[in-house]
Amino acid sequence: MFAVCLALVVSAVDAKEVNVLFIGNSYTNRHNQPDLVERVMEEGDSSKDYQMSRVIYGGQNMFKHSTYYFSQSFIEQASISDAEIRERIETMKRLLESDEAPDPAEWTRHWASLGTKPGQMKFADIHKQIRSAIKNHEALLDENPRQQWDYVVLQSWRDVSSDPDQAYAKYATRLARIAQANGAKVILYMTSPETQNQEPVEGPFNLESADRDVAIGLELVKRIKPAAVVSVPLAIKNIQAGGTDLLFRYVNDGHLNQTCAFLTSNIFYAALTGESSEGFAYNSVTENKVKDGKDPDGGELTVVFDDKTKRYLQRMAFESTEEFKAMAR
């Protein structure tokens, strides 16, 4: 008995640390998505110890992360100087002095590429997030852990344009180049808020959006050669293709629900390892936005998937990932 316990302790001590930085918004934060990825990755390979970090601003995208919040500072934290951090803090403070974007043409082009009406998105509306970014940079200045990342995850969210030179494709590429220059591998986490169904469907929901997102993902594979693409749009499209009772978002909240979070984490596993998680013990997801002890639709916070549903979602995560890889070859 002692030998078995000792072996377990040694195994834990010898586990190789894998440091991952997620950059995104609530689609990363809800259900503590990085922790779900950690669970499935470590079940698949107990010799790895995944350490998950995140830079999150609610409702924000890669355009704003890279242009106004300087989230690249955290990608670069192993090499960035204190002087550079201070310079970025001062730049953000100057941004707060105006209700207009410093480059109005870039601001306009970005939102136009997403079909947003002129004037609908106001620069003054992101002052709150800029203040948060300043505080985060001040904290980094006070105590920079000089972390070298193994992976940097760049999350999409309602910012995928059919124009491959705008929106997510443009700014994820910008951040990906920085990550790669700093020795990190890039993971593109492509969410699918426009295709997540809140009621049963007989076929793909918003097929045009799914196909657009897959096409941009394939373009980015050619452009930046990421380590993995987590194509949630393709997986949901495939599940919906024959009709499904599975729901991927809440009725009372536009976010991904527990089912979509579970699917997503298994796609991460398939995309990173090239293997299926089908049959893994991992089978539950807990919502972290709580109202009166329930999830947004009044259901239990923790959903435990029965074996049939669990295996189906695990299998679809793998098969969709393999399909995406085949299209990318």
Tokens representing residue 161 in the block? 């344009």
CA 129 to CA 82: how far, in whole Å? 22
Q: pLDDT tens, 251-289?
A: 999 999 999 999 999 999 999 999 999 999 999 999 999
Give yes or no for a contact between 137 and 76, defined as CB atoms under 8 angstroms apart.
Answer: no
Sketch out the chain's domains with CATH numbers.
Answer: 16-60+152-328 (3.40.50)
Q: Hey, is 272 helix, strand or coil? A: helix
Q: Hey, is 75 helix, strand or coil? A: helix
Assign residue 208 a region (left: φ > 0; alpha: ψ between -120 and 50; beta: otherwise).
alpha
3-state secondary structure 224-256: HCCCEEEEHHHHHHHHHCCCECCCCECCCCCCE
The whole-chain average pLDDT of the chain stands at 95
pLDDT band of 311, cuts 50, 70, 90: very high
Look at residue 3 and tell me whether its pLDDT is greater than 70. no
Instruction: Tell me the pairing of strands 302-304 and 284-286.
Output: antiparallel
Q: For the residues 279-300, what does the mean pLDDT come to?
A: 98
Tokens representing residue 128 in the block? 């709150």
Give yes or no for a contact between 235 and 320, defined as CB atoms under 8 angstroms apart.
Answer: yes
Question: What is the reported pLDDT for 22?
Answer: 99
Q: pLDDT tens, 44-90?
A: 999 999 999 999 999 999 999 999 999 999 999 999 999 999 999 99
Closest by CA position to 212, among listed 237, 187, 189: 237
Q: pLDDT tens, 118-139?
A: 889 999 999 999 999 999 999 9
Question: What is the reported pLDDT for 119?
Answer: 87
Look at the block and give the residue holding tokens 């377990």.
Answer: 8
Question: What is the reported pLDDT for 12?
Answer: 53
Q: For the residues 190-196, what does the mean pLDDT come to?
A: 98
Tokens representing residue 216 in the block? 């941009």
Phi (first) and psi of residue 118, to 5 degrees: -55, 135
Of 14 and 188, the one with more pLDDT: 188
Q: pLDDT tens, 156-174?
A: 999 999 999 999 999 999 9
